[in-house]
């Protein structure tokens, strides 16, 4: 597979043809390394199923201005509640406050994506489930659903069911294959000899080829029926997507393993070239089938752009079957309307009483006019003050936003969410939050040396049980993407020149110092009221963006 080269390349690949298989030559560089194709949590379906919410939330750097984290909410046989709470300790120099960073901006910068998780399936089990001859296997059931759509028209229930099942199958294989690739590469990294690595690489290669052959046998069998046009297209698109996915797994693994050849040993190169041959085989299969996503070593930038666009479209076609839609509304809209009406009624009542009292002075024109004007002014201010007080009261007791999470493709409600965010006073934070924040503190005076503003985010989720006959899913995954680009507007230049004295050498030195800032995040997720420990990470940023994420406690 031809890979687009960045300006200062991460990898420079050349291939030589031998009688057996292609050989990769790799020169690695870590400068300006682009994100990998699995770098985003949005595209990573290989998340282990959980029966309890996991306390170690997975945090990743998405790009220079975005960090991502994913939360897993397991389904139960009965409705279950979960609570997510996080405190972001932001340096005061960022100038974030309720007056400069309102709730609309907070929610605009904290995007949320929700999806169902696919059933967890090991790669070997997935290969077994692709046995068309075994009754009850994943692939044989898929073939039955496809045959049930024979003779139907596009958009019919049977046709749409077949398309959905094809997309779910692709998602299951993607999650299973990605987890298998990671396990294989971990085994290779731990191997002391190429012979030990051979077991892992050959096993992975055989399973991938077995799954590909089985699906292509289903494709040939399904073609014997008169299928709706959308089912026929979905069959080919899943075939192309599966081929691209297996090619990417083999190609990236071959590059990873080939980096072990720095000692000049050709035995490591043999394992890498075997996986490279698998990748080339998938590319040739797509070429022979007339599919559009074909890479080339001599491809122009426009052709590489088309190749990546095609990959993205196919991946979204299959993975979108898992995505859920959330309908967001203001959490206390009707409560606020009622309270504002109450404030207006109280103010109007005062104005009416004042007017009646002023009627005693009708014979004195000026005092009468003055009393009426004063009563109107007091009524106006009374209404505004009451509305402000009642709004603050409602803010503490009602959510900012209420969600309804829906699965539109299966027409069902998955759960409801109540969400709050805002700024909190440092001195009044929960004791567990302060303890986690102060784990690395050397002295209490540090809080004066490093003043911080605390941004708070909380979600309470009520998750409905999965209905019989719906997509079997062990859990719902919520992926947050936090944009901190606006937070960095007031930071200092990342590099500055400083001078200092060296006491040992007796000289004065000059050096370039990097200016970084720490955003500490204390968070936890609880389920059914169970008490769980607070966790903490540190996000290191500069004016250029996110530098890294460090786990603390």
The answer to whether residues 492 and 427 belong to one domain is yes
Domain boundary among 270, 302, 321: 321
Chain segment 460-479, per-residue pLDDT in tens: 999 888 876 666 788 888 88
What's the DSSP call for residue 352?
H
Distance CA 103, CA 399 (A): 12
In a domain, 326, yes or no: no
The answer to whether residues 71 and 138 belong to one domain is no
Q: What is the mean pLDDT of the chain?
A: 81
In a domain, 1, yes or no: no
Structure confidence at residue 46 (pLDDT): 67
* Mean pLDDT calculated for residue range 94-98: 88
Distance CA 160, CA 157 (A): 5
Q: CA distances (Å), 388 to each of 325, 335, 391, 403, in order?
A: 34, 14, 5, 25
Domain boundary among 321, 344, 368: 321
CB 538 within 8 Å of CB 518: yes
In a domain, 3, yes or no: no
Burial 69-90 (b: 16+ CB within 10 A, else e): bbbbbbbeeeebebbbbbbbbb
In a domain, 289, yes or no: yes
The answer to whether residues 47 and 79 belong to one domain is yes
Confidence of residue 380 (pLDDT cuts 50, 70, 90): confident
The answer to whether residues 24 and 45 belong to one domain is no
The answer to whether residues 475 and 507 belong to one domain is yes
Chain segment 280-321, per-residue pLDDT in tens: 999 999 999 998 888 887 878 888 888 889 888 998 898 888
Between 37-41, 212-216, 382-386, 443-447, the lowest mean confidence (pLDDT) is in: 37-41
**Total number of domains in the chain:** 3
In a domain, 4, yes or no: no
Distance CA 27, CA 98 (A): 50
The answer to whether residues 146 and 229 belong to one domain is yes
Domain boundary among 363, 378, 397: 397
The answer to whether residues 89 and 212 belong to one domain is no
Confidence of residue 153 (pLDDT cuts 50, 70, 90): very high
Structure confidence at residue 9 (pLDDT): 37
Length in residues, the chain:
553
The answer to whether residues 127 and 181 belong to one domain is yes
The answer to whether residues 355 and 217 belong to one domain is no
Confidence of residue 532 (pLDDT cuts 50, 70, 90): confident
- The label of the residue with tokens 């993975």 reads 319
Structure confidence at residue 338 (pLDDT): 74
* Mean pLDDT calculated for residue range 140-169: 91
Distance CA 117, CA 139 (A): 19
Between 139-153, 395-409, 426-440, the lowest mean confidence (pLDDT) is in: 395-409
The answer to whether residues 97 and 57 belong to one domain is yes
Backbone torsion region of residue 545, taken as left when φ is above 0, otherwise alpha when ψ lies between -120 and 50, otherwise beta: left
In a domain, 287, yes or no: yes
Structure confidence at residue 15 (pLDDT): 41
Q: Which tokens go with 152?
A: 């139907």
CB 476 within 8 Å of CB 414: yes
In a domain, 350, yes or no: yes
Rg over CA atoms, the chain: 30
Structure confidence at residue 32 (pLDDT): 42
Give the list of residues 6+ apart from residue 184 with CB closer than 8 angstroms, or none: 200, 201, 203, 204, 253
- The label of the residue with tokens 């007091």 reads 378
Structure confidence at residue 267 (pLDDT): 65
Q: Which tokens go with 483?
A: 């944009």
pLDDT value at 371 more than 80: no
* Mean pLDDT calculated for residue range 168-176: 90
Phi and psi dihedrals of 480, rounded to 5? -95, 140
Backbone torsion region of residue 320, taken as left when φ is above 0, otherwise alpha when ψ lies between -120 and 50, otherwise beta: alpha
The answer to whether residues 92 and 224 belong to one domain is no
Domain that holds residue 73: 41-117+400-551
The answer to whether residues 362 and 391 belong to one domain is yes
In a domain, 5, yes or no: no
CB 343 within 8 Å of CB 386: yes
pTM for the structure as a whole: 0.77
Helix (H/G/I), strand (E/B), else coil: 461: strand
* Four-residue CA torsion sign, 346, 347, 349, 353: positive
């Amino acid at each position: 597979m031809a890979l687009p080269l960045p300006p200062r390349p991460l990898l420079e690949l050349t291939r030589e043809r031998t009688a057996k298989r292609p050989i990769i030559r790799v020169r690695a560089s870590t400068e300006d390394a682009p994100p990998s194709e699995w770098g985003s949590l949005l595209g990573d379906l290989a998340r282990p199923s959980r029966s309890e919410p996991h306390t170690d939330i997975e945090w990743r750097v998405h790009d220079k201005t975005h960090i991502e984290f994913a939360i897993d909410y397991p389904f139960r046989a009965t409705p279950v509640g979960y609570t997510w709470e996080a405190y972001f300790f932001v340096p005061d120099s960022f100038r974030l406050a309720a007056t400069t960073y309102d709730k609309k901006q907070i929610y605009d910068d904290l995007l949320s994506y929700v999806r169902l998780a696919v059933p967890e399936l090991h790669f070997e089990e997935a290969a077994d489930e692709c046995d068309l001859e075994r009754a009850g296997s994943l692939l044989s059931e898929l073939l039955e659903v496809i045959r049930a759509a024979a003779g139907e028209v596009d958009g019919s229930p049977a046709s749409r069911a077949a398309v959905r099942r094809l997309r779910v199958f692709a998602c299951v294989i993607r999650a299973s294959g990605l987890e298998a690739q990671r396990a294989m590469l971990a085994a290779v990294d731990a191997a002391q000899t190429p012979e030990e690595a051979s077991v892992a690489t050959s096993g992975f290669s055989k399973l991938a080829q077995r799954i590909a052959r089985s699906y292509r046998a289903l494709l040939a069998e399904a073609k014997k029926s008169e299928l709706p046009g959308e089912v026929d297209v979905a069959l080919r698109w899943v075939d192309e997507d599966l081929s691209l996915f297996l090619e990417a797994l083999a190609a990236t693994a071959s590059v990873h393993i080939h980096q072990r050849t720095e000692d000049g040993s050709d035995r490591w190169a043999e394992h890498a070239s075997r996986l490279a041959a698998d990748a080339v085989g998938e590319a040739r299969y797509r070429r022979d089938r007339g599919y559009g996503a074909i890479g080339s070593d001599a491809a122009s930038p426009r052709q590489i752009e088309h190749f990546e666009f095609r990959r993205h479209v196919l991946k979204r076609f299959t993975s979108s079957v898992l995505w859920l839609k959330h309908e967001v509304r203001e959490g206390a809209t009707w409560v606020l309307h009622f309270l504002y009406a109450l404030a207006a009624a109280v103010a109007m009542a005062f104005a009416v009483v004042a007017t009646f009292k002023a009627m005693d002075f009708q014979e004195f024109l000026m005092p009468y006019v003055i009393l009426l004007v004063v009563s109107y002014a007091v009524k106006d201010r009374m209404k505004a003050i009451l509305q402000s007080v009642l709004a603050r009261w409602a803010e503490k007791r009602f959510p900012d936003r209420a969600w309804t999470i829906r699965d539109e493709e299966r027409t069902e409600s998955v759960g409801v969410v109540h969400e709050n965010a805002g700024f909190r006073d440092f001195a009044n934070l929960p004791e567990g939050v302060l303890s986690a924040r102060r784990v690395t503190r050397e002295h209490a005076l540090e809080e004066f040396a490093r003043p911080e503003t605390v941004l708070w985010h909380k979600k309470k989720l009520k998750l409905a049980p999965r209905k019989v006959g719906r997509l079997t899913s062990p859990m719902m995954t919520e992926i947050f993407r936090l944009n901190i680009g606006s937070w960095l507007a007031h930071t200092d230049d990342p590099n500055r020149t400083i001078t200092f004295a060296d006491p040992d050498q007796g000289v004065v030195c000059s050096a370039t110092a990097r200016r970084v800032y720490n955003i500490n995040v204390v968070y936890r997720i609880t389920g059914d009221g169970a008490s769980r420990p607070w966790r903490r990470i540190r996000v290191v940023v500069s004016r250029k963006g996110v530098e890294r994420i460090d786990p603390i406690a």
